[in-house]
């Protein structure tokens, strides 16, 4: 009996050893194969071999050919743009439908998992506090997904001025990559600042409400490039992080415009840097946004992305983002609604020369349609900044105009 147990034990040990030792066997076999290859190379020298410099030269030639082709391909004619008509607002709107469709297709927008309907019973509003100017609360609005897939919320700070009367304008204020202003010495993030770079104070002083969405840029225990990583994962899953963010903004507007405090005819969006990008695209995609101010972003997209290669601004590298769907063409989808482009002469991230070129091109859409007076390129002495007084004046003037109907959207 003991012999049988010992025998079975040995068999078990051999099986366990063979299971865990298999990688060692495989490594040994690979080493034997490599040795045989080296012997074969030694005993059967090649009849012909190319010099290494020649192979490098061929690769260099191929790289040059592909680079030249893609450069010319980027500059190819765009029939969609050539077919835009300026004879009337209706003709313009209808003739830009193919451009709008190309943008939506490239972004994967609207997102298929978007939360639909007018049931906002699950929206959470958490009071944050108040000061002499306003009251503050944190909104969490279900925007994408469901109980099965998990919900993605649009999260942001809603700021209501204490001095207000009747239905008031609402400003969507999109911050840059930091998501909100910089940390103060106290370790807290000020929602309002005293500088003209503040995206809310000037609006609140006029009696307007502000919603400051918090966009995805970083998270505790996540890598610094988590935004780019999620952008790639979204792309691999057949969607885009941008579509998700624009959907979150859209769903926030869905909810906010149901509140009795706000005038739906006086909805504006402002943004700086990444927030300027979000402002430009959200306004192009959502006709309810009546006026937009884009600061420290609008530029020669191809030049900016080329300078940041290979991985900078990974989330902006969607299909046709350097030819058909450049910043001026996105502005064409905002047209004829009022649009102000702001650029600091010493912007360290988006060169002023590129801002001038792109803004001049964007202004042509407005000029040809006879709406040049509601497009403004505002250049000021500054860096990667936001000129608050100029923005609020521009928005006030736009609110005083008759709202523009946008057929075909």
Q: Mind listing the pLDDT tens digit of every residue in the chain (409 residues)?
A: 576 777 777 777 777 777 777 787 788 888 888 888 888 777 876 677 788 888 899 899 998 988 888 888 888 889 999 999 999 999 999 999 999 999 999 999 998 889 999 999 999 999 999 999 999 999 999 999 988 888 999 999 999 999 988 999 999 999 987 655 554 445 555 666 666 678 999 999 999 999 999 998 888 899 988 999 999 999 888 889 999 999 999 999 999 999 999 999 999 999 999 999 999 999 999 999 999 999 999 999 889 988 888 878 888 899 999 999 999 999 999 999 999 999 999 999 999 999 999 999 999 999 999 999 999 999 999 999 999 999 999 999 999 998 877 665 5
102 & 191 share domain? yes
Domains in the chain, number = 2
- 34 and 97 fall within a common domain: no
Residue 188 belongs to a domain: yes
Rg (C-alpha) for the chain, rounded Å, is 29
Which candidate, 213, 210, 239, 215, places its Cα nearest to that of 226?
215
Q: Are 94 and 235 within one domain? A: yes
Q: Same structural domain for residues 31 and 100?
A: no
What distance in Å separates the CA atoms of residue 211 and residue 392, rounded to the nearest whole number? 15
Q: Which two tokens stand for residue 225?
A: 């490039």
Burial 189-204 (b: 16+ CB within 10 A, else e): eebbeeebbbbbbbbb
Instruction: Give me the sign of the Cα torsion angle 224, 308, 198, 279.
Output: negative
Query: Can you give the residue range of the structural domain that contains 223?
Result: 83-399
- Both 66 and 196 in one domain: the answer is no
Q: Clarify whether residues 64 and 156 are in a common domain.
A: no
**In terms of Cα–Cα distance, which of 251, 255, 282 is closest to 268?**
282
Same domain? 294 vs 195: yes
Same domain, 47 and 194: no
pTM given for the model: 0.87
In a domain, 11, yes or no: no
Q: Which among 54, 74, 94 is the end of a domain?
A: 74
Give the containing element (helix H, strand E) for 248: helix 241-256
Assigned domain for 349 exists = yes
Same domain, 144 and 288: yes
Cβ proximity of 109 and 243 under 8 Å: yes
Residue 153: strand pairing partners: 142
Task: Answer yes or no: do 41 and 105 share one domain.
Answer: no
In a domain, residue 405? The reply is no
């Amino acid at each position: 009996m003991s012999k049988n147990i010992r025998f079975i034990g040995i068999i078990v040990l051999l099986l366990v050893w063979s299971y865990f030792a298999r990688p060692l066997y495989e490594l040994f076999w690979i080493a034997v194969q490599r040795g045989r290859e080296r012997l074969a190379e030694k005993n059967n020298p090649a009849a012909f071999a190319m010099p290494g410099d020649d192979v490098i030269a061929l690769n260099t030639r191929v790289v040059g050919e592909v680079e030249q082709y893609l450069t010319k391909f980027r500059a190819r004619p765009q029939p969609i743009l050539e077919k835009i008509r300026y004879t009337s607002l209706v003709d313009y709107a209808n003739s830009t439908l193919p451009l709008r469709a190309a943008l939506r297709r490239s972004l994967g927008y609207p997102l298929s998992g978007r939360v639909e309907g007018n049931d906002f019973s699950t929206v959470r509003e958490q009071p944050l506090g108040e000061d002499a100017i306003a009251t503050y609360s944190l909104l969490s609005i279900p925007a994408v997904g469901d109980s099965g897939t998990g919900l993605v919320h649009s999260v942001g700070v809603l700021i209501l001025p204490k001095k207000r009367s009747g239905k008031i304008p609402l400003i969507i204020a999109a911050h840059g990559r930091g998501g909100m202003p910089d940390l103060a010495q106290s370790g807290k993030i000020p929602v309002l600042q005293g500088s003209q770079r503040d995206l809310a104070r000037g609006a609140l002083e006029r009696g307007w409400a502000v919603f400051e969405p918090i966009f995805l840029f970083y998270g505790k225990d996540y890598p610094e490039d988590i935004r780019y990583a999620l952008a790639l994962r979204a792309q691999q899953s057949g969607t885009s992080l941008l579509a998700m963010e624009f959907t979150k903004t859209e769903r926030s507007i869905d909810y906010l415009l149901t509140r009795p405090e706000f005038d739906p005819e006086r909805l504006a969006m402002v943004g700086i840097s990444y927030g300027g990008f979000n402002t430009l695209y959200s306004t192009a995609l959502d006709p309810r946004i009546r006026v937009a101010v884009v600061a420290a972003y609008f530029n020669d997209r191809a030049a900016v992305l080329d300078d940041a290669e290979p991985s900078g601004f990974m989330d902006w590298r969607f299909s046709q983002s350097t030819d058909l769907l450049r910043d001026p063409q996105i502005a064409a989808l905002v047209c004829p609604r009022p649009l102000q482009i702001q650029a600091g002469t010493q912007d360290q991230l988006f060169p002023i020369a590129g801002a001038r070129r792109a803004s001049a091109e964007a202004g042509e859409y407005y000029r040809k349609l006879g709406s040049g007076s509601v497009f403004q390129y505002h250049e000021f002495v500054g860096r990667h900044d936001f000129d608050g007084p100029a923005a609020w004046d521009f928005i006030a003037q736009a609110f005083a105009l008759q709202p523009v109907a946008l057929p075909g959207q």
